Structure 1
Amino acid sequence: MPRLQPLRHVETSRLDVAYFEAGPADGEPIVLLHGFPYDIHSYVEVAPMLAAEGFRVIVPSLRGHGETRFLRSSEPRTGQQTALGQDVIELMDALAIPRAILAGYDWGGRAACVVAALQPERVTALVAVNGYLIQDIAASMHPLAPELEAGFWYFFYFLTERGRLGLTRDPRGIAEVIWRRNSPDWDFGDAEFDRAASAFDNPDFVEVVIHSYRHRLAHVDGAPEYSRLEAQLAHLPSIGVPTVTLDGLADGNFPARDATAAGVRFVGPHEHRLVPHAGHNLPQEAPRAFADAVRRAADLAGG
C-alpha cells in the first residue's frame, strides 16, 4: 500500500505541522489540503503526478490529524474555519512560499476558500471540490431538505456529549460510516481505510473535530484571536482568484450542480467540472480528474 513519506516538520506560531513534499524546490507551489475524516493519503496518487510535472507539491496534515501537533497545551483546540485558513497561511510563511495554488475538498477545500477570500494575494489559483465552502454560520440553523440533513447526521451527533464520547471511543467506526455514505461508488479496501484512520490517533483529534462542528452550527464560540477574520467571513466574501470547482456525480452528501450554480461567489475566471462515479473524497477516488483540474487552474492563472 503506497504512502506519502517521509514526512517533514515545520513550526508555525501554533503548530508543529507534519507535511509531505515532492517535486522540485523551485517548482510552482501547490498546497493540497485534505478533509475530515480523511488524511493526507487522499493525495497519494495526485501528489506524485503533479510532482512529476515540475510542481512543488506540499500535503500537510491538518490540525488535530496525523503527526501535526499543537506547540502549547494552552492553545485552544479550535476547528473553526478561520483557524484552518490561518494554518495554511502560516505554513506558507514558514516555508517561505509567497503564493501558491491551493486545492482541497471538505475541511481542506474550506481552508483554501478562506485564504482565497481573505488573502487573495497569497493564492495563485484555487481548486475546490463542492465549490464555495465558506460557512454561513448565521444561517446554520436554517433546515435543509430531509435527504440532505440525513447525510449530515454526525453534525448533530457531535453537538451532544454522547457524540463526543462516541467519537472518543470509536473514531474509526464513525469515519467508516461517513466514508461509505459520502462515497457510495468507492470500493475502498481495509488497507486504504486503515492507512487514513491512523491519522485519527492524534491526541487533539476529538477536541478539534467537536469544536469544528459545534462552531459551524453556532453552538460554541470561536477562539478570540480569530474573531476579526470570522467577522469578515460572515459577509460571505466573493473569491476572485482563478478557480476550478469540481462536483462528484456520486457524492452521497452534496448533489452535483451546473456551472451557474457552482459559480456563485466566484467572480474571477472560473470553470466547473462534473466527475463521474466520484464521491466526496474526490482526489483519491478520481485522482486524474483532480490533477487535471489543478493543471487547468494553473493555466487560468497564466502559469
Structure 2
Amino acid sequence: MPTVKPGTHTAFASLKHTKAGVLDIGYAEDGPADGPVVILLHGFPYDIHSYIDVAPLLAGAGYRVIVPYLRGHGTTRFLSDKAFRNAQQSVVALDVIALMDALKIRKAILAGFDWGSRTADIIAALWPDRCKALVSVSGYLITNREAQKTPLPPKAELAWWYQYYFATDRGVAGLKEYGPDFARLIWENVSPTWAFDDATFERTAASFKNPDWVPIVIHNYRWRLGLAKGDPRYDRLEDRLADRPKIALPTVTLDAELDPFTPAPGDGSSYRDRFLGPYTHRTLKGIGHNVPQEAPEEFAQAVVDVDRF
C-alpha cells in the first residue's frame, strides 16, 4: 500500500444512492466500475467516513469500492414511514445483500469493523456465495443473545456503559438530546491515541441527523440484550446465527491493541475455531477501535492480501 497519513482525504470520489429492499441506501463509490468489488461496512457511532482514506487506497489498487451508510445513518432512508425501525443483526446483513442485488454485484470482498464486522461475518456465514473473502476487525462478532446474558468481568462491562444506558428511557432521551456528544465521548474512550480534529468528527456527526438514527441505535442494542423484539419473519435466520455458524471463506482478522472491546489477549485465539478457510490474524499495535480510520494502510493491505489467499 502507498503511505497515507490518516485524515489525508476529506471527501469521497462519488456519493450515490439506490433503492434496495426496504431502503433507499446512500453510499460512496470509488475505483474502476469493472474492478473486483469491495464493500466496506462501518459501525456505531461512526459512518462511511471511517473509510475516507481506505477507499482511495483500494481504488488505486484497481478495486471498485462501495461504502454504504447503514440503516439509520447518513443519507440512507426507509422507503416507508410505517416500516419497523428494526436493527437486529440479520436485517442489517440483508440490507447489504439487497444493495448488492440492486447494483448487480454477485460477489464481493466484505470488510468491516464494529457493526460492520458483524454484518460481514453474517453474510460470509449464511450467504458464502455472495462473499469472496472477509476482513473482520475483532474477529467473529455474530451475536448469540443467550450468551449475552452472561456477565463480563467489570472492566469489560465498563466499556459497554452506553449499551446499558440505552436500555433505559433516560438513555433514549439522552441520545436524542446529546447524540454527537455521546459519539465524541465514545470515540475518545475507545480510541485513546487517535488525535482526530473537529472537522473529522463533524463530517461523521452529520450522519447522526438521520431521523432514524436514534430508533435504529436503540433497537440494535436493546435487541442484543433481549430487551426488544425482532421481526418474526427473520427468526429462522437468527436461530441459525445463534448456533455460531462457522465461516469457510478466506479471512483476515484484525485486533486493535488499544480497543477495549478486543478479547484478551488480542491474538484471535478466542474465535479462531470459527474460521475454517485460509486464514491469518494480525494485531495492530497502538491502534484503537476505529481501525480503518486510524490505520488505513493496514486495513487496506488486509483487503488486498485476503483477495490473494
Q: TM-score range by the shorter chain?
A: over 0.9
- Are positions 1:219 and 2:266 aligned together? no
Unaligned runs of 5+ in 1: none
1:210-289 equivalences in 2 (<5 Å): 210-255=218-263, 257-289=266-298
Deviation at 1:5, TM superposition (A): 4.8
Q: 1:107 to 1:4 in 2, by over 3 A?
A: same
- Are positions 1:167 and 2:186 aligned together? no
Greater shift, 42-51 or 219-228, is seen at 219-228
Partner AA of 1:286 in structure 2:
A
Partner SS for 1:272: strand
Q: Quick one: distance in 2 between partners of 1:205 and 1:129?
A: 23
Say if 2:12 and 2:30, in contact at 8 Å, map to a contact too: no
* Partner residue, 1:12: 20
* Partner residue, 1:293: 302
Q: Quick one: distance in 2 between partners of 1:209 and 1:264?
A: 30
* Partner residue, 2:69: 61
Q: Quick one: distance in 2 between partners of 1:135 and 1:35?
A: 15
Q: Quick one: distance in 1 between partners of 2:278 and 2:14?
A: 36
Q: Quick one: distance in 2 between partners of 1:64 and 1:259?
A: 31
Identity of aligned residues (%): 51
TM-score of the superposed pair, with normalisation by structure 2: 0.95
Unaligned runs of 5+ in 2: 1-8
Query: What do you get for the CA RMSD once the two structures are aligned?
Result: 1.1
* Partner residue, 2:166: 158
1:177-216 equivalences in 2 (<5 Å): 177-216=185-224
Partner AA of 1:106 in structure 2:
D
Say if 1:262 and 1:272, in contact at 8 Å, map to a contact too: no
Partner AA of 1:297 in structure 2:
V
Say if 2:112 and 2:135, in contact at 8 Å, map to a contact too: yes
Q: Quick one: distance in 2 between partners of 1:263 and 1:201?
A: 38
* Partner residue, 1:73: 81
Say if 2:50 and 2:293, in contact at 8 Å, map to a contact too: yes
TM-score of the superposed pair, with normalisation by structure 1: 0.97
Partner SS for 1:74: coil
Partner AA of 2:32 in structure 1:
P
Q: Quick one: distance in 2 between partners of 1:262 and 1:238?
A: 10
Q: Quick one: distance in 1 between partners of 2:13 and 2:74?
A: 12
